[in-house]
Amino acid sequence: MTTRFRTHAFFLCFVPFAMLLAGSFWMVQRFVQSTVRDGLHAALRESQIAMAKIHANGDLQNSRSLRLASENSALKAGMQQLLIDRKGEAARRTVEDQLRQLGEPMGFDFMLVSAADGSPLAGVVRQTKSESRGQLAPLDTDLLYHSDADLRVLGGRILQVASVTVDQYDEDIGALSVGRYFNLSDIATPVALVHNGNVIGSNIPQVPLDEIERALARCRDQSECDVRLKDSNWIALPIQSYGGGYTLLNFESVDQATASIRSNLHNLFLTLAIICVLLALLCSIASSNSIVKPIATVVSHLRSAARTGVLPELEGQSTSILEIRELTEIYNRAAASVRESSENLEAANFEFVGSLANALDARDSYTAGHSLRVSELSCAIAAALRLDQSDIDRIRVGALLHDIGKIGIADTVLQKEGRLTGKELALVKQHPVIGRRILEGVQGFAPFLAAVELHHENWDGSGYPWGQAGEETLIDARIIHVADAYDAMTSDRSYRRGMDRERALSILVKYAGIQFDPLIVEVFANLQREIPPGYSARPEGLDKVEQPASAVNA
């Protein structure tokens, strides 16, 4: 038996572990291949997107806007006038105005007309200062030099320029050059613009231009080279040449490209290690589960019983071990015995409560059954309010005990015929406090103290003993208050007959929101109207039917 058990445990642990390792190595191999492939593809796609954007922004010579601008007749006339009188300020301003009118709607940042020999005649450039509001302004042509490059540096900013000849009657009268500011920040991939070996712009964050220039010092004659920036390895690759010594270099961070692979591999192997450990634990647990689980269940039930006082029976504990089966059977017999004892004790407590209520009601034949009827009415209201069963059970006992404090009131006061004096009424109003004092010394009666003490508190705060208002009073007491008043009004007294149900309900409705909780009165009234006419509950009554609601409180 022992040998077979050990063999089974070995296979349960070894076979899944071996399969997991084999599958893990296969997954790692596929994952590495996939990650590297995706990384290379992503880098190529970003480079292609950058190139497409550069070409789209730089290919102005073939754009429709440039061709349309060069065919503008007013511009041609202005150029001819300026060619005749190159020093004429009026002609130059006329051409500048025409360039501004053409450039603004087309979104150009730079426009220049040149003579056929390439010498600049007039131009406009978009200002970047806040006071100029980004408008095209006249350009000082003395700052320009003749260049065939697609990029020019003007005022510390780089312009991407394209030119087209301007013809008049098949005669070349000059050229029109237009441009836009070349913003490296618009390019998604890290790039640097180099002019004759000097780095004049870059979008690589937190890397100074001089550091990039030093790193590229040994790469001038290479189409691709490895560089080191900010303690990180990069690859520099020329991706575009603009003539005039301008070259755009693309940078790819080797460390960043491989960081995700290293991180993913680290996380993968860590996950695999955790899975392997958990698998070994699960295999060990499974091999001993038939012994440990039943005992753990018994211990858990015992701990729950110590915490809640309820000892539930075990269900579904099937095992082939004889000792554990016997332990389960003994436990279940003990649980059944404890449950039966608890039920007997609960029944005895309830009978004791009923006996207390009956002893109180027996002091006066006219109050016989009052506490029981108030309890039943209170439970009906609580059920209609959809309270939990535990709340209904608590209200049931609280209502049975609500007048227990009247034990401390003399019979001459309780059974007095006619109106009570102020002193006698004050004495009667002490019965909620007396009731609490009686019950708070009895273990297990704490949940019912609020119902006993507060069942004469009024909704508007005019009740007693503490003058609580609204929902300050526990709902148990508010429900018992309504049921108590109704049973009092519909019961007989030695000095008057109890009123009929409709009249009692009308008084409750009248004092809803003053003496009683309006919602509870509404629910109770609906319940009473559903009771067949043959119902007759004649419990304890009011001192005087015609008295105000304060009489109901007494």
Q: Give the residue with greater pLDDT, 101 vs 147.
A: 101
Q: Is 172 exposed, middle or buried (0-12, 13-18, 19+ CB in 10 A)?
A: exposed
pTM of the entire predicted model: 0.42
Query: What element of type H or E holds 195?
Result: strand 191-195
Of the ranges 226-235, 511-520, 537-546, the best mean pLDDT one: 511-520
| Tokens encoding 468 | 């609580």
Q: Residue 520 pLDDT > 90, yes or no?
A: yes
pLDDT at 501 over 80: yes
Mean pLDDT along residues 422-427: 88
Residue 536: band (very low, low, confident or very high) from pLDDT cuts 50, 70, 90: very low
Confidence at residue 244, expressed as pLDDT on a 0 to 100 scale: 75
Give me the pLDDT at residue 277, please. 63
Which pLDDT tens digit goes with each residue over 216-238? Answer: 887 766 567 788 888 888 878 78
pLDDT at 75: 83
**pLDDT tens digits for range 285-341:** 565 555 556 666 666 666 766 666 566 666 655 666 666 667 677 767 777 777 777
Tell me the pLDDT tens digit for each residue of 467-499.
Answer: 999 999 999 999 999 999 999 899 876 667 889
Neighbours of 222 (CB within 10 A): 12
Which pLDDT value is given to residue 414? 77
Look at residue 528 and give its three-state secondary structure.
helix
**What does the pLDDT read at residue 465?**
94
Q: Are strands 232-243 and 171-181 parallel, antiparallel or unpaired?
A: unpaired
Which burial class, exposed, middle or buried, applies to 131 when counting CB atoms under 10 A from its CB (0-12, 13-18, 19+)? exposed
The arithmetic mean of pLDDT across residues 53-68, rounded, is 60
SS3 169: coil
Q: Which CATH architecture has domain 64-185?
A: 2-Layer Sandwich (3.30)
Amino acid at 176: L
Closest CA to 476 of 403, 391, 553: 391
HSE at residue 354, side-chain half, CA atoms within 13 A, is 10
Q: Which CATH class is domain 362-553?
A: mainly alpha
Q: How many C-beta neighbours within 10 Å does residue 340 have?
A: 10
List the chain domain ranges. Answer: 64-185, 362-553
Using alpha carbons, list the distances in angstroms from residue 453 to 106, 292, 360.
Answer: 87, 52, 16
